[in-house]
Amino acid sequence: MSSNHLKDNRRHNVVTASQGYDIIDKQVPKFEEYTLLKPPFQGNEMTAYGNQFESTALSAMEVYLDEICKEGNEFHVHPSEPIGASVDGWIYDPEIDMDIGIELKCPYTQKIYPKIPDRYWYQVQLQCFTHGTPYGWFGVWTPEEFHAEKIVYDQEFIDWYLPYAHQFLEYVETNTKPSRWKKKPVYQPKEK
């Protein structure tokens, strides 16, 4: 694996936490976006809705945690792996003397997820890995309710995931279109 991500950490040289699930689930379309064969996703009505209410969701997280949160959205790259992430906010945990990332969703459907969707679980795991935190917060806001869960960092997931991230970026670097999966890899966590 090359170390280009350390010299040039623009998003096409790293797997971002928000794209982490899709480089496995939608490998060929993501390859086409990363290599600019197709234009990268620029957002839609649903992402605009989420962005519009993100600060409201962060306020709801503050009420839930009974603490003031800091805004996030600054992109960071892991110091030794081509994984990057930004979080929507930060909450200080005095027990471990560390800021903990917060990922917020404001679903366009205005419904709370019955369980954390895999794509968002992957996202929080990659945020924890990038920032070196033992857990992260996942919050879902709607005009009617708010739900939050603590997601504990899973090193076994990262050990399973990194070879796929390296392989994907190798396809991008060499401009070699990946084949469709014969059987899509699925991580089976002990707890989620």
State both tokens at 103: 């990922």
* CATH code for the domain defined by 4-174: 3.90.320.10
Report whether pLDDT(12) > 70: no
Distance in angstroms between the alpha carbons of the first and the last residue of the chain = 30
Strand ranges, E, within 30-115: 70-71, 76-77, 83-85, 89-93, 98-105
Q: What's the CA angle centered on 81, arms 77 and 85, to 5 degrees?
A: 30
Question: What mean pLDDT do residues 85-96 have?
Answer: 96
Map tokens 């990057």 to a residue.
84
State both tokens at 65: 């945690």
Q: How confident is the model at residue 10 (pLDDT cuts 50, 70, 90)?
A: low
Q: How confident is the model at residue 95 (pLDDT cuts 50, 70, 90)?
A: very high
Separation of alpha carbons 124 and 20, rounded Å: 10
Is residue 1 within 8 Å of residue 169, measured between CB atoms? yes
Report whether pLDDT(6) > 60: no
Report whether pLDDT(7) > 80: no
Q: Round the average pLDDT of the chain to a whole number and report it.
A: 91
Report whether pLDDT(192) > 50: no
Q: How confident is the model at residue 39 (pLDDT cuts 50, 70, 90)?
A: confident
Domain ranges of the chain: 4-174
State both tokens at 78: 């892991």
What pLDDT does 178 receive? 95
What pLDDT does 191 receive? 62
Three-class secondary structure of residue 90 per DSSP = strand
pLDDT tens-place string over residues 141-180? 999 999 999 999 999 999 999 999 999 999 999 999 999 9
What pLDDT does 36 receive? 85
